Amino acid sequence: MQIFLDTAEVALLKAGVASGLVDGVTTNPSLIAKSGRDFKEVIAEICDFFKGSVSAEVAALDAPTMIAEGRVLAKIAPNVTVKVPLTRDGLIATKTLSDEGAEVNVTLCFTAVQAMLAAKAGATYISPFIGRLDDMGFNGMDLIEEIRAIYDIYDFRTKILAASIRSPQHVRDAALAGADCATIPVPVFDALFKHPLTDKGLQDFLKDWAGTGQKIL
């Protein structure tokens, strides 16, 4: 499963990308607003040091303006993925932009039927929001499994990008449910490396090694 980082903080992204384990980046207007910087400048800077998919979201709600904004965003760099909301107008924009060769990430998906429509419109990625469904008392992973089943039956090529990820357990469950990718906050990404038994085992190894008095270098 591919791992995307969900942030617009350039310093955090650079640290994550340095691990060699990051396949993509997702941003949205809220994340850009927190940075206090110019939207297009941030996207351009990210694309300058990272060559994987970088999702940049349109701000319009009507299809013609979404298409116009999407074209502008797609020209920032070859690896920009235009991000649009899962609305009727959003899918109209998806169809046009994908037909023009742009990658499109359709976001704010909450049902399998929505995901089917996005795939028919030519979306590169569909972003079901797992955590928000959990907040409403549903099991977000059920949605991942439903989308996976529909996409496999009809051979849709759209990638399932699990979003609204809250914990390492969400990442594990999304992988088991068949998600192609998961976009996760940096703190969750950092937590993927950690386990108390790993820490304890390492301490024991180092203690035993110190007792030998040996060195490798």
pLDDT one-digit tens code per residue, 117-137 = 999 999 999 999 999 999 999
What is the 3 state secondary structure string of 172-207?
Answer: HHHHHHCCCEEEECHHHHHHCCCCHHHHHHHHHHHH
Q: Is the pLDDT of residue 66 over 80?
A: yes
Cα–Cα distances in Å, from 72 out to 16, 68, 81, 197?
A: 27, 7, 11, 49
Instruction: Please write the tens of the pLDDT for every residue from 13-54.
Output: 999 999 999 999 999 878 787 778 899 999 999 999 999 999
The class of domain 2-212 in CATH terms is: alpha beta
Q: Which of 34, 51, 83, 215 is catalytic?
A: 83
User: Would you tell me how many other CB atoms lie within 10 Å of the CB of residue 65?
Assistant: 14
Domain ranges of the chain: 2-212
Contact predicate 84/60, CB 8 Å: no
Mean pLDDT of 51-80: 97
Q: In this predicted model, what pLDDT tens digit does every residue of 194-205 receive, in sequence order? A: 999 999 999 999
Residue 167 CA, distance from chain mean position: 14
| Residue 91 token pair | 């899918």
As a whole number, the mean pLDDT across the chain is: 96
To the query of whether residue 83 is one of the catalytic residues in this protein, the response is: yes
